[in-house]
């Protein structure tokens, strides 16, 4: 079954272009939720789309303005009890929303094409951090 979208006539949406945008929003939601779905447009869809668009733009700015950072989770050997490594965990210091974790913004990065540049940034930052720790003697490079 194909996806479909329903749209009821609304007094605030009397222009054909607006109606088409609303129908498109409902169709997008139907596609997101899987095959054979039927969705009816609601104002919430437009609000969600605006929020998603704004957050996507902010994520691009975050990458350019050093709002992303890494925290490190130690990996401890169960045999020796010593730290065997660390997992780098990405965070976003959002100027209005505080610290955001990947479940909030990673799908936006994928959809907007920022996932590659963010992955590159994570790799460079983790390598820079490791070099800093090695140079300072904080970790043993062996």
Tell me how long the chain is: 142
The residues spanned by each domain of the chain are 1-41, 52-142
Output the pTM of the full model.
0.67
What is the tens place of the pLDDT at every residue in 84-136?
A: 889 999 999 999 999 999 999 999 999 899 999 999 999 999 999 999 999 99
Domain covering 52-142 assigned CATH 3.40.30.10 in the classification: no
Angle between helices 16-32 and 43-64 (to 10 degrees): 80
**Per-residue pLDDT tens for 3-34?**
555 555 555 555 666 667 677 767 766 777 77
**CA triplet 123, 127, 129: central angle to 5 degrees?**
120
């Amino acid at each position: 079954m194909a996806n479909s979208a329903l749209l009821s006539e609304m007094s605030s949406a009397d222009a054909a272009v607006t109606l088409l945008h609303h129908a498109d929003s409902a169709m997008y939601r139907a596609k997101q939720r899987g095959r054979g779905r039927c969705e009816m447009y609601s104002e919430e869809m437009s609000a969600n789309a605006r929020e998603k668009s704004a957050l996507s733009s902010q994520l691009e700015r975050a990458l350019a303005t050093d709002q992303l950072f890494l925290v490190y989770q130690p990996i401890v050997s169960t045999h020796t009890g010593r730290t065997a490594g660390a997992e780098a965990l990405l965070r976003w210091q959002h100027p209005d929303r505080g610290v955001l974790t990947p479940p909030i913004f990673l799908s936006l990065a994928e959809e907007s094409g920022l996932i590659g540049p963010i992955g590159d940034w994570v790799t460079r930052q983790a390598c820079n951090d490791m070099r800093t720790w090695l140079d300072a003697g904080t970790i043993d490079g062996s």
